[in-house]
Structure 1
């Protein structure tokens, strides 16, 4: 049975096509170059159990969920990720190590040393005050720490009509200490009259080929967890992108992805009800019906 052209993944594929066809060609921070558009919006309905795990190439959704769970711990060192076989944050500390030492160490050897050597991990595995630090331990001018996630959960439970249910990571005083300033930087929540929890994610910068699919999974996963903790139902994920771009060395891969027909989105459910937002683990997430096209490789621009 064929899919209708209103399959929600077509929003994403059309955006990729617009960027390639109409995007402004720019020399970016990495030196690779991009084609870029500014100001885009996609909407995904999660109320029926489906989640936007992109199907036109395989997305390793467990990696995205593990990353989100790591953010929620407040962690900022890649060792915690490497212990779970998650390597998506290794490029930045590896580049810093190579630049500082002049040693042309391979990524696998660098990661192995991070895992096995406490002192090395402390010095070279640290990313600085990135997402988790800002979400769970934002420090204000008086030195007080603020747990934005705990505050959000409490507000969802006690005052779901609030227009102040959000958290963000763009802490101006900490930006120069971060391995990478936050891309998915503001998450705002809304509860409608049907008891559905909606999320608007603003992303200032998005690598559409490599990053976007992970962001959709991470935001959806967080929405499911928050809804469960607050006794709500999943609603809609609204994604807003600022500078949305395709790196020039990914153009062929993107055209290959655009040529593929989307398959039905899978469903995701939580297999238990943990006591708090801090108690989820990867085994709590069950995805059914994910039958994607094959993976398409592309190198990260650092």
Structure 2
């Protein structure tokens, strides 16, 4: 168990002797920041020799009739305002003086504030179609913390402030609400269904429902453009739809605009 006690002793020797009867591990700590208290004058006469540990080094020196300050000065050790000097006394009577380098610094860091996504309705687009109207942008929060290190190792971190320095921008997504045209089977014997759609598909795409043109603009059996495909109620890419759906929507297109939609291969419909 560790306990902190106060003493009226005027020297390290006196303090160590006073506390020795209370436990085998005695430790005195003197800080440069005494907060107005009279600092303890640590005269070192215990056993004559002591070990000084400072800045990663350890030295055995003669401390007889000298204060801690004198010993450290003679060793060329300069104490900072926050440094602590710790004096320990073990069971064998050996005294160790340890200088703990204390550094306190205020540091800041920036963390992202994620953007939110909001949706709006778009009556000009088919149900299920989405488009980003406004791209979302993350904001930024600046956090200031007071970090204390002891001998280069962080020992405490306290947050001083946290403020949003850049507000996030919401991402706005428009979602279509327009009903899609229903693809109804073309009645047997009707003009569109009686045409040679297989011949048109062979001419346009080699009969491959998943093909995409080299320039990436035309898709599927009948080489729909995306605009034309969407105009007849298609969703996604034509090349991802089934062959039956592609044919049904090609027949819808023919019913609207005729074979001129396929200026090169349209004549195949009538063979």
TM-score by length of 2: 0.19
RCO higher in structure (CA 8 A, sep ≥6): 1
Q: What is the TM-score normalised by the length of structure 1?
A: 0.18
**Which one has a bigger Cα radius of gyration?**
2
- The structure richer in strand per residue is 2
